[in-house]
Amino acid sequence: MRTYAGHSTAEASNELYRRNLAKGQTGLSVAFDLPTQTGYDPDHVLARGEVGRVGVPVSHLGDMRRLFQDIPLEQMNTSMTINATAMWLLALYQVVAEEQGADPGKLQGTTQNDIVKEYLSRGTHVFPPVPSLRLTTDMITYTVGRIPKWNPINICSYHLQEAGATPVQEIAYAMSTAVAVLDAVRDSGQVPPEKFGDVVARISFFVNAGVRFIEEMCKMRAFGRIWDQVTRERYGIQDARQRRFRYGVQVNSLGLTEAQPENNVQRIVLEMLAVTLSKDARARAVQLPAWNEALGLPRPWDQQWSLRIQQVLAHESDLLEYEDIFAGSHVIEATVESLVTESLAEMDRIEAMGGAMAAVESGYLKSELVSSHAARRARIESGEEKIVGVNIYGTTEPSPLTADLDAAVMTVDPENEAGVVAALHEWRANRDEARAAEALAALKKAAAGTENLMEATVACARAGVTTGEWSWALRDVFGEFRAPTGVSSAPVAVSADAGTPLAAVREKAARTAEDLGTGRLRLLVGKPGLDGHSNGAEQIAVRARDAGFEVVYQGIRLTPEQIVSAAVAEDVHCVGLSILSGSHAELVPDVLHRLREAGATDIPVIAGGIIPPADAAALIGAGVAAVFTPKDFGITEIIGRIVDEIRKANKLDPLEVPA
């Protein structure tokens, strides 16, 4: 039983962990902030506004010591949601455990370490696919020998569903990733054939459980059957225990609503039941989001509520006392068989392309996810897919839970970042600089060769190297990677036939372009900072394209300066900024300021993301033309509003085009 937690500083997160453990939590699930996840130190320009926002900043060994102070790591089971920099964080964890007197052979826990889904959905990748797979392979082979109880990779289909994956896509893409990893480990020659079963036994999965109860339960059964088949037939694993499909679950955050957020509680409970009610499809570990995640950062009380939901199920109900109550159901069996057949067929398609890494580089996987997400959004907008409180049953009594929206979520003190940066500078000033430089040189030499990189990484951790320094050393050797966006190849998701809302917006956009004397309206969709959750930005880009806009979308991880430079160079008519990490209060005004300095005062700026009401008001006051949050689910309507703001900024009369 876990809650995913971490914020502000190592000290504040340590206090939160110890408090949660005292409440009955049985493991730790560490959330790292975006600079840590993407390999930047807190004083890097891209880290501005992101430090301590969505997790805890860990810049060096001192931070890791403070994060786990007074928590005996030899007795703990720790999950770390970390991918591109997973090797680095595991090295820091190992060194801190050794400093506590722990035996690394007894350490238990998991590093997510699934880079494929970062290219597709979360956006915290750093290096290209091939060297990233090498880092994963080196970690796995190192832990099998040195930290045998550790799960070095957690194949994570959770974020695939958040990005719009169907159950078949979620299964097929996750399994194809596992195949790519296991093939790489086998072919590396670092693990003798007789030990390969130990590698397979340490592979774990992290899965999403959505609100479609039967479908999700059957998905887990299908996952288990396919994993058993793949490990037995492809890798010759004879021991059934080593073939066991081991998975944890975070129930769905994509389906949590800002509108009537109290409904999220029953959604969370139903999603949890899908992975606990059936013994043959029961998760080993469960994380539940908080009811108010669509509003902002949950408070400790909100996290406690989610923990208590699990505890009531486990200790008050009789749910865990029986054999599988769905065994023999012809409905369940037929659904599982269909999912297995379709998933294996999709896996074969990916294999024919050269495997998961090739399918990432070609853009196939990303394009498929953008398309399926667009189709889901279209179903919601049309009312075909119903969401209570959003597109049906919208009337509501005032909720005491959200009477004061700004107090219903936790906020991170903006002064926190300056303190973290100052502490980083102090760390650098006090370390043995020669030792750190020597460790980094050894790391780069190892990366340029073929040796396992884990030993050199552990040496860097001990030498006081920082997260950014470790990552830049590898960037120098491996380069960086900008993943395909999937926008240009996504098909049209909604009808533009005469009389439809999209047709009306198309007409409005065309007439506005004519009034401005330009061929087409141009929209820049920007992702400033380190927030890699690009699903919303991609859907806006796709729908704007379908409405006749020329769309400038360069993907994630841009500075305000780069966004403004592109806006001026491309002579765009509007800038749309998408931020879900909480850094909007700093980055959006910076874009506004730079546009004014560039003389582009006629370009309206709109913002979208998880933006609390007080912050939205502040952004409007600073000059933002419009703010959109998760409650604004009508994408076509948003595009129409963008056209309206372009007309207003250019002093054109309002234009009404009947649908």
* Number of Cβ within a 10 Å radius of residue 450: 9
Look at residues 360, 382, 404 and tell me which one is the last residue of a structural domain: 382
CATH code for position 334: 3.20.20.240
Contact (Cβ atoms closer than 8 angstroms) between residue 80 and residue 94? no
Scanning the structure block, which residue is given the tokens 């990432």?
A: 360
The verdict on 472 and 517 lying in the same domain is no
Note whether residue 24 is domain-resident: no
Please give the distance of CA 465 from its chain centroid, rounded to a whole number: 26
What is the C-alpha to C-alpha distance for residues 172 and 341, in angstroms, rounded to an integer? 10
Contact (Cβ atoms closer than 8 angstroms) between residue 360 and residue 127? no
What pLDDT score does 228 carry? 97
Backbone angles phi, psi at 2, to 5 degrees: -140, 160
Smallest CA-to-CA distance from 64 within 460, 439, 455, 437 is with: 460
Angle, in degrees to the nearest 10, between helices 167-188 and 129-146:
70
Smallest CA-to-CA distance from 124 within 643, 533, 623 is with: 533
Backbone angles phi, psi at 82, to 5 degrees: -150, 140
The verdict on 631 and 517 lying in the same domain is yes
Identity at 204, one-letter amino acid code: S
Residue 487 DSSP label? -
The verdict on 367 and 452 lying in the same domain is no
Note whether residue 123 is domain-resident: yes
The verdict on 206 and 301 lying in the same domain is yes
- Do you know the residue count of the chain? 659
Contact (Cβ atoms closer than 8 angstroms) between residue 591 and residue 622? no
* Number of Cβ within a 10 Å radius of residue 322: 9
Q: In what order do the strands lie in the sheet with 150-151?
A: 4-5, 28-31, 77-81, 108-111, 150-151
Residue 109 DSSP label? E
Contact (Cβ atoms closer than 8 angstroms) between residue 3 and residue 306? yes
What pLDDT score does 659 carry? 54
Look at residues 333, 367, 382 and tell me which one is the last residue of a structural domain: 382
The encoded tokens of residue 549 equal: 């806009």
Backbone angles phi, psi at 79, to 5 degrees: -100, 130
What pLDDT score does 657 carry? 67
The verdict on 456 and 518 lying in the same domain is no
Backbone angles phi, psi at 467, to 5 degrees: -55, -45
Contact (Cβ atoms closer than 8 angstroms) between residue 73 and residue 114? no
Contact (Cβ atoms closer than 8 angstroms) between residue 109 and residue 59? no
Please give the distance of CA 606 from its chain centroid, rounded to a whole number: 23
Please give the distance of CA 447 from its chain centroid, rounded to a whole number: 27
Residues noted as catalytic = 4, 158-159, 527, 531, 533
For CA atoms 338, 340, 345, 349, the dihedral sign is positive
The verdict on 248 and 326 lying in the same domain is yes
The verdict on 533 and 466 lying in the same domain is no
* Number of Cβ within a 10 Å radius of residue 270: 17
Contact (Cβ atoms closer than 8 angstroms) between residue 43 and residue 34? no
Could you give the 3-state DSSP secondary structure of residue 32? strand
What is the C-alpha to C-alpha distance for residues 401 and 388, in angstroms, rounded to an integer? 18
The verdict on 451 and 551 lying in the same domain is no
What is the C-alpha to C-alpha distance for residues 23 and 2, in angstroms, rounded to an integer? 11
Contact (Cβ atoms closer than 8 angstroms) between residue 260 and residue 202? no
* Number of Cβ within a 10 Å radius of residue 433: 12
Q: Which H helix or E strand runs over 207?
A: strand 203-209
What pLDDT score does 658 carry? 63
The encoded tokens of residue 430 equal: 């006090």
Note whether residue 398 is domain-resident: no
Q: Which H helix or E strand runs over 452?
A: none
Q: How many independent structural domains does the chain possess?
A: 3
Note whether residue 223 is domain-resident: yes
CATH code for position 553: 3.40.50.280
Give strand pairing partners of 248: 206, 285
What is the C-alpha to C-alpha distance for residues 58 and 37, in angstroms, rounded to an integer? 9
What is the C-alpha to C-alpha distance for residues 211 and 208, in angstroms, rounded to an integer? 10
What is the C-alpha to C-alpha distance for residues 226 and 167, in angstroms, rounded to an integer? 13
The Cα angle at residue 593 between residues 591 and 596, in degrees rounded to 5:
110
Smallest CA-to-CA distance from 415 within 588, 585, 641 is with: 585
Note whether residue 301 is domain-resident: yes
Please give the distance of CA 12 from its chain centroid, rounded to a whole number: 23
Scanning the structure block, which residue is given the tokens 């560490």?
A: 30
The encoded tokens of residue 305 equal: 């509520």
Note whether residue 103 is domain-resident: no
The encoded tokens of residue 69 equal: 């102070």
The verdict on 457 and 589 lying in the same domain is no
- Left if phi > 0, otherwise alpha if psi is -120 to 50, otherwise beta: which for 487? alpha
The verdict on 461 and 511 lying in the same domain is no
Note whether residue 551 is domain-resident: yes
For CA atoms 297, 301, 305, 306, the dihedral sign is positive
The encoded tokens of residue 369 equal: 């996810």
Residue partners of 471: CB distance under 8 A and separation at least 6:
38, 39, 40, 84, 85, 88, 126
Q: Which residues of the chain have pLDDT under 70?
A: 657-659
Q: What pTM was computed for the model? A: 0.88
What pLDDT score does 105 carry? 95
Smallest CA-to-CA distance from 164 within 335, 346, 365 is with: 365
Smallest CA-to-CA distance from 107 within 68, 136, 137, 135 is with: 68
The encoded tokens of residue 212 equal: 């479609």
Note whether residue 37 is domain-resident: no
Look at residues 338, 367, 382 and tell me which one is the last residue of a structural domain: 382
Domain carrying residue 467: 415-478
The verdict on 251 and 157 lying in the same domain is yes
The verdict on 534 and 420 lying in the same domain is no
* Number of Cβ within a 10 Å radius of residue 620: 13
Give strand pairing partners of 32: 56
